[in-house]
A and B are shown apart, each in its own frame.
Chain A
Amino acid sequence: MIEPSKEYVVQMHGITKRFGSFCALNEMNLDVKSGTIHSLLGENGAGKSTLMNVLYGLYQADEGEIFLKGEKVEVKNPSDAIKLGIGMVHQHFMLLEKFTVVQNIILGDECISHLGMVDMKKARKDVMEIANKYGLHIDPDAKISDITVGMQQKVEILKALYRGAELLILDEPTAVLTPQEIQELIKIMKNLIDSGKAIIIITHKLKEIKAASDICTIVCRGKYIDTVDVKSTTESELAALMVGHDVNLVVDKSPAEPKETILEIENLVVENEKKMDAVKGLSLNVRKGEIVGIAGIDGNGQKELMDALSGFIKAKSGTIKINGKEIQNTTPRNIIDSGISIIPEDRHKRGLVLEFGVFENAVLNKYRKMPYSKKGILNQKAMEQFTNELIQECDVRPAGCTYDHAGNLSGGNQQKLIIGREVSNNPELLIAVQPTRGLDVGAIESVHKTLVRERDKGKAILLISFELDEVMNLSDTIAVIYDGKIQDTFLQGTVDENTLGLLMAGGRNHVHE
């Protein structure tokens, strides 16, 4: 442990935080030097966010001390934290959609003219000054609802700087950004460091840690593991520290042997909730025995494509065919019956009934069939037996959770339950949307393996993911979606990250031209 000293913006020593009987943080230490980008690495649920919430005053530590520039402080709530010069950008932005950029930035810290009115002119000037100083290029008068996610993030950073933050905490800042935007973010972070600020970023993306940060503290299961110099440590070493064992980051699979086409989407047009075309004439084929991955940034029509594929909304025009049969305007039940299984993006919203027991969730897509029910009467025994098998097969933990509430399972185990359930339906086409979102490395590996195994069994698999790495590693064919259309498709290995990133952001594909 390093003695409290002025050189360090923040020092957190011996932080322990318990929730009930669960120990989320156990004697955690963190020392952030001024003028550095310090990354906090750990699996999901390792305690990174909890630690930062303690620093930001959202939680109170049960034990431990916090020092700012060598002086002991107490952070009781976020407004204390802001006064002490700590700013935090949460994973989910806290912005008012109907307000402009400047309005959002000054909200809660308005400069008041002597008439008791908000002095917007001065506010605008102040905001622009800060923005220019750190190279955060924004349109101060645009409404939040009209700007991109990347822009919104800049607004969040500006919000913190406007309140005089000397230390910025960025929680998973790259999750929603395109590669280009990530590059820009890294540039901005470097600018901030150069003018004397310090930054802590929470992430589990090794590549970004390598690219952006100077020092990395690794957390595992609420415990401090190590603090390393990023430049002299390799990605694999970092990963190994994070999970406690060496991880195979590349998906292990043989070349695909695609057969006949199962899914044919032709000139599909789907409207979004605002009655505007979101999918604009999309065409795509998926064959047996291949994984087709759709790469793209959130909000380019993936959601509407999925809603149409699931039968939640009707297509405006175009067709979706499964085995030659049109299904675009039928019911969800017909779609399931025609051999499509879907692993939904949002486990809690679309995948599970959290208040239901695991056994009820396990038969959610087959309770109407024998032997789970007969003439409208459920067969508890059959449900239980099936669930026990599924739990064992898919390694859902804790074992023997058959009658527990699904909501009590961890995210990874919930996902295993859903995947197990969908795969057990023996579908011809398996659609997986963001199947590894929020999962730790171990769970990701298991999900990927399952998808490859199903492909090898001859199933058609459609993968939609915002994680470019995942699409690139897992898919046999990569399709890039932008603005409701497939921009281009590539075989795995014939395209690099930059080309895809450019396409995802609406750039032209120079390779093919």
Chain B
Amino acid sequence: MYMNKIAQILKKSVFRTLAAIVLGLFVAGIILAVAGYPPLRSMLALGKGIFSSPKYVSNVLIKSTPIIFTGLSVAFAFKTGLFNIGVEGQFIVGCLASTLVGITLDLPPVIQVPLVLLAGLVAGAAYGGMIGVLKAKFGIHEVISGIMLNWIALYLSNYICILEPFRKGDSNGTYQVSEASKTLILGAWKNTDDGRNFLKGIPILGEAFLKTDVNIGFLAAVIMAILLAVLLKKTTKGFELRAVGYNKYSAEAVGIDIKKNIIDVMLISGAVAGLGAALYITGNTPHKITVLSAFEGMGINGLPVALIAGSSPVGCILSGLLFGGLMYGGQALQYEVGAPTEIINIVIGIIVFFVAIMKGVPRLLLKIPRRGGKHVK
């Protein structure tokens, strides 16, 4: 009976995911304990690192924004049957394009900001679309071309960002984008004495705004998630995309153009990643790109975000926040307890693992009692 009840609860994917998260933290606690760090204090430190100051909460939102975007990009492609591992490359070219436009142009913000964002979006879309075309026209698997294009993006970005006239002095990075390109909220004003004094006067919000890169990115991510959810659920285009994703043969039989849809999906998926990249550049210090020695992982981190979210766009916001919170709070874990930040990667890995195996758990729970109830606690 008891088991059945749990099984019923776990059939809901939301509860399954929650259970996976709790289990992930629990196992992480055990690992911490084994490694010689006090688990309870560690978890407290983690919590403290996320919630103990409005500034921290604000930072979690900021940190989560780009991975929500890449998570959305992956989830959207996944919903339609494509594994967009090329999201890393799309993010990189998005960063590159928006930075270049942001450096080169200096128009009034009303024009400049949309232009810079559009540059990232178009670059990401084109880069994603390339994967779609390769798949649709030549049958090249999107994972293969995606990984290849990721490397091309990395080296392309490294090459361009130290080219004249973008390179700043002797650094291995570009100049910052122009002030007008930035998508910070109250960006310039809060650095003036007036702004600083005014914000200091407001208890919680003040701290959340001061000393953080509060930007429009998170808001945009939420809007994007809703847009994608509506696109998938409420439009004929989304209907087609989902049909192709679930069963391309049936979709073909009812007259849906599969190849066109593959390209469309990758265009949209890339555009989402590219827009996220542009918002990342315009909303976060250092507002520029540098030579990367390895992938930063903004795109790759989108994969677990989408996985934990079960590919639901709105779910991506929550799992992106979880992921961002863990990454940001993990710093405190290291600072307070001295545990290596790698433990956070382990936690995330374990959560993804549990999300994956949790699907089988309800069935397992229903099976155990018959096999011999006494073995079950």
Shortest distance from the beta carbon of A232 to any chain B beta carbon, whole Å: 43
Q: Chain B 276-316 against A: per-residue CB contact (8 Å), 1 yes, 0 no?
A: 00000000000000000000000000000000000000000
Residues of A within 8 A of B366 (CB): 20
A336 interface residue (CB < 8 Å to B): yes
Most chain B C-beta atoms within 10 Å of own C-beta, residue among A332, A353, A360: A353
A365 touches B250 (CB 8 A): no
Q: Which one of A62, A332, A348, A368 contacts B252 once the chains associate, using CB atoms below 8 Å?
A: A332
A356 touches B243 (CB 8 A): yes
B253 touches A332 (CB 8 A): yes
CA distance in complex: A20, B8 (Å): 13
A332 touches B250 (CB 8 A): no
Most chain A C-beta atoms within 10 Å of own C-beta, residue among B233, B243, B257, B370: B243
B249 touches A331 (CB 8 A): no
A137 interface residue (CB < 8 Å to B): no
Q: What number of B residues sit within 8 Å (CB to CB) of A?
A: 21
Q: What number of A residues sit within 8 Å (CB to CB) of B?
A: 32
Question: For residue A363, which residue of chain B has the nearest CB?
Answer: B239
Residues of B within 8 A of A353 (CB): 242-243, 246-247, 250-251
Shortest distance from the beta carbon of B169 to any chain A beta carbon, whole Å: 51
Question: For residue B255, which residue of chain A has the nearest CB?
Answer: A333
Residues of B within 8 A of A331 (CB): 255, 257
B237 interface residue (CB < 8 Å to A): yes
CA distance in complex: A376, B249 (Å): 22
Assuming the contacts A332-B253, A332-B254, asked whether A378 and B236 have C-beta atoms less than 8 A apart, the reply is yes
A368 touches B250 (CB 8 A): no
A310 interface residue (CB < 8 Å to B): yes
A336 touches B239 (CB 8 A): no
Assuming the contacts A367-B239, A378-B235, asked whether A344 and B247 have C-beta atoms less than 8 A apart, the reply is no
Q: Chain B 223-263 against A: per-residue CB contact (8 Å), 1 yes, 0 no?
A: 00000000001111101001100110111111111000000
A2 interface residue (CB < 8 Å to B): no
A360 touches B239 (CB 8 A): yes
A365 touches B255 (CB 8 A): yes
B237 touches A376 (CB 8 A): yes
Interface residues of A in 322-339 (CB under 8 A from B): 331-337
A403 interface residue (CB < 8 Å to B): no
Residues of B within 8 A of A376 (CB): 235-237
Shortest distance from the beta carbon of B250 to any chain A beta carbon, whole Å: 5
CA distance in complex: A377, B251 (Å): 18
Assuming the contacts A349-B250, A352-B247, A353-B246, asked whether A332 and B255 have C-beta atoms less than 8 A apart, the reply is yes
Assuming the contacts A350-B249, A378-B234, asked whether A333 and B257 have C-beta atoms less than 8 A apart, the reply is yes
Residues of A within 8 A of B251 (CB): 353
B242 touches A336 (CB 8 A): no
Residues of A within 8 A of B235 (CB): 373, 376-378
CA distance in complex: A334, B249 (Å): 17
A356 touches B242 (CB 8 A): yes
A356 touches B246 (CB 8 A): yes
Q: Which one of A335, A349, A365, A368 contacts B247 once the chains associate, using CB atoms below 8 Å?
A: A349
B257 touches A310 (CB 8 A): no
CA distance in complex: A365, B236 (Å): 12
Assuming the contacts A331-B255, A350-B253, A351-B250, asked whether A364 and B243 have C-beta atoms less than 8 A apart, the reply is yes
A226 interface residue (CB < 8 Å to B): no
Residues of B within 8 A of A332 (CB): 252-256
CA distance in complex: A355, B252 (Å): 16
Question: For residue A368, which residue of chain B has the nearest CB?
Answer: B236
B253 touches A344 (CB 8 A): yes
Most chain A C-beta atoms within 10 Å of own C-beta, residue among B243, B247, B253, B254: B254
Q: Which one of B233, B239, B253 contacts A351 once the chains associate, using CB atoms below 8 Å?
A: B253
A310 touches B253 (CB 8 A): yes
Residues of A within 8 A of B256 (CB): 332-333
Question: For residue B247, which residue of chain A has the nearest CB?
Answer: A353
Q: Which one of A333, A334, A350, A377 contacts B250 once the chains associate, using CB atoms below 8 Å?
A: A350
A354 touches B253 (CB 8 A): no
B252 touches A312 (CB 8 A): yes
Interface residues of A in 354-375 (CB under 8 A from B): 354-356, 360, 364-365, 367-368, 373
Residues of A within 8 A of B370 (CB): 62
Residues of A within 8 A of B234 (CB): 377-378, 380
Q: Which one of B247, B252, B257 contacts A354 once the chains associate, using CB atoms below 8 Å?
A: B247
Question: For residue B366, which residue of chain A has the nearest CB?
Answer: A20
A88 interface residue (CB < 8 Å to B): no
Most chain A C-beta atoms within 10 Å of own C-beta, residue among B237, B242, B249, B370: B249
Residues of B within 8 A of A360 (CB): 239, 243
Residues of B within 8 A of A462 (CB): none
B253 touches A373 (CB 8 A): no
A342 interface residue (CB < 8 Å to B): yes
A336 touches B236 (CB 8 A): no
Residues of B within 8 A of A349 (CB): 247, 249-250
Interface residues of A in 61-98 (CB under 8 A from B): 62
Question: For residue A374, which residue of chain B has the nearest CB?
Answer: B236
Residues of B within 8 A of A333 (CB): 255-257
Residues of B within 8 A of A373 (CB): 235-236, 239
A352 touches B257 (CB 8 A): no
CA distance in complex: A354, B256 (Å): 16
CA distance in complex: A352, B253 (Å): 9
Residues of A within 8 A of B239 (CB): 360, 367, 373, 378
Residues of A within 8 A of B253 (CB): 310, 312, 332, 342, 344, 350-351
Most chain A C-beta atoms within 10 Å of own C-beta, residue among B237, B239, B243, B256: B239
A336 touches B247 (CB 8 A): no
Shortest distance from the beta carbon of A113 to any chain B beta carbon, whole Å: 43
Shortest distance from the beta carbon of A333 to any chain B beta carbon, whole Å: 3
CA distance in complex: A373, B233 (Å): 12
Shortest distance from the beta carbon of A369 to any chain B beta carbon, whole Å: 10
Assuming the contacts A331-B255, A331-B257, A336-B255, asked whether A367 and B250 have C-beta atoms less than 8 A apart, the reply is no
Shortest distance from the beta carbon of A76 to any chain B beta carbon, whole Å: 15
Question: For residue A342, which residue of chain B has the nearest CB?
Answer: B253
Residues of B within 8 A of A380 (CB): 234
Question: For residue B370, which residue of chain A has the nearest CB?
Answer: A62
Residues of A within 8 A of B249 (CB): 349-350
CA distance in complex: A348, B248 (Å): 11
Residues of A within 8 A of B246 (CB): 353-356
Shortest distance from the beta carbon of A25 to any chain B beta carbon, whole Å: 16
Shortest distance from the beta carbon of B365 to any chain A beta carbon, whole Å: 12
Residues of A within 8 A of B247 (CB): 348-349, 352-355
Residues of B within 8 A of A365 (CB): 254-255
Shortest distance from the beta carbon of A14 to any chain B beta carbon, whole Å: 18
CA distance in complex: A354, B243 (Å): 10
Shortest distance from the beta carbon of B358 to any chain A beta carbon, whole Å: 18
User: 10 extra interchain contacts, Cβ-Cβ under 8 A, other than A20-B366, A331-B257?
Assistant: A332-B252, A349-B250, A351-B250, A352-B247, A353-B247, A364-B250, A367-B236, A367-B239, A377-B234, A378-B235
Question: What are the 5 tightest A-B residue pairs by CB atom distance, in nearest-first order?
Answer: A333-B255, A355-B246, A332-B255, A350-B253, A353-B247
- Ordered by A's residue number, 26 sampled pairs between the chains whose C-beta atoms are within 8 Å are A62-B370, A312-B252, A332-B255, A336-B254, A336-B255, A337-B255, A342-B253, A349-B247, A349-B249, A349-B250, A350-B249, A352-B250, A353-B246, A353-B247, A353-B250, A354-B246, A354-B247, A355-B246, A364-B243, A365-B254, A367-B236, A368-B236, A376-B235, A378-B234, A378-B235, A380-B234
Interface, chain B (partner A; CB < 8 A): 233-237, 239, 242-243, 246-247, 249-257, 366, 370
